Amino acid sequence: MKLEGAKVVVVGMARSGVAAVELLREYGAIVRAVDQKPVEGSEVGLQTESAFADADLIVLSPGVPADHADLSAARQRGVKIIGDLELASWFLKGEIIGITGANGKTTTTALTGHILKASGIAAQVGGNIGTPPASMVATSRADQLNVLELSSFQLETTESFRAHIGAALNVTPDHLDRHYTIENYAEAKARLFVNQTPGDFAVLNHDDAITRAYASRTKATAVWFSSTHEVSPGAYLEDSRILLNAQPLMEAHEVPLRGTHNIENTMAAAAMAHLAGATHAQIRSAVMTFPGVEHRLEFVRERNGVSWYNDSKATNVDAALKAVAAFPGGLWIILGGKDKNSDYRPLAAPLREKAHAALLIGAAAEKIRAQLSGEVRMIACRTLGAAVQEARARAASGDTVLLAPACASFDQFDNYEHRGREFKRLVGEL
């Protein structure tokens, strides 16, 4: 689409929206920025149906639902509606590595970028992690890879977007307040693979039925990873070793991240890095120096024999389950926040086995209490600060206090980063 002189409305003025506005103006578009909460004295207008009346193109930030009622009239007129990822992909130089999944995509994206850079392979990292795709256009080069973490919100509004290497780590119920059904959620993730060509690669979790089925949705070559059995081509766990294309890569204990799910993330990253040109030796060396990701099973401190961990990015039930599985027991787990139409009952058995109690915070506390009643001791705390104080008073040496909320953060915090930083501040002040 020719952008010069086109009237474009960008919806949602968080980081991604601001980056889209800047990119569009650089290519000569006449841009109107709108938001549900316009900033007084700024050029941002109010998001209403009339704001789209003369639009030639509408660009949605990831936080704006594609089925928003304000867009219906424009859609009926045939106005093209895309997301910021689709827009950025029109101009990004260099091949794209795209990584999606309900859980693990931030760690896997950061680890893939770390391996590539440590192996001397030019790459920049962004997407749903850190730098918005539109902000990466200016620093993109034909000889440099773009490693992108991609959410369902970004993928659902793509049309021509194509990743040379696409990875789906897992698909479990998440964002059902937005996608309504697991089928819709899985379909949004599948957008990563539909435009791939026979020269591209789809790195897929063979242990997950939904991601395994994506192989039939793409023309790309399927490359697998599995923590339960041998796969080819790809990476798998055999006893205590990780093998890549049937050749030993490293010992599982050499991965500096807790939990089987992080072994899976490592195998996915290794497979992608190998496809991009990294050797087995380079991958092993880089994995062993990976510092981890903030707010992902992040060790905060030990105090009086009690370990404190920040997994604020565990914003859904499956992520919280993976966090619990990474510890042998003795847990005081902080649960709650903004509900995403989630079912918390899968937490019952592992918490009954491993947790002293669940410390409940936020708007979802009563729903969690109702669904886990009789399964685990629950303590109403309401706020994160109260939960930290409760855990400090009750935890004994050898116990672990784990923030793994299984909920979004928007009831009491700006985002999961804000929640995680506040947790670390509170723990640091004990």
Question: What residues are labeled active site?
Answer: 105, 128, 175
Q: What angle do CA 189, 193, 197 make, to 5 degrees?
A: 170
Measured CA to CA, the distance from residue 126 to residue 144 in angstroms comes to: 13
CB 220 within 8 A of CB 213: no
Q: Which of 231, 298, 315, 239 is nearest to 268 (CA)?
A: 231
CB 85 within 8 A of CB 161: yes
- 369: CB partners within 8 A, 6+ apart: 360, 378, 380
DSSP codes, 237-263: EETTEEEETTEEEEEGGGS-S-SHHHH
Beta strands 234-238 and 241-244 are: antiparallel
Q: Which of 110, 104, 108, 135 is nearest to 123 (CA)?
A: 110
Q: Give first-to-last CA distance, the chain, whole Å.
A: 56
Measured CA to CA, the distance from residue 202 to residue 214 in angstroms comes to: 8
**Cis ω for the linkage preceding 233 (within 30 of 0):** yes
Please name the helix (run of DSSP H) or strand (run of DSSP E) that holds residue 385, with its range, or none: helix 384-394
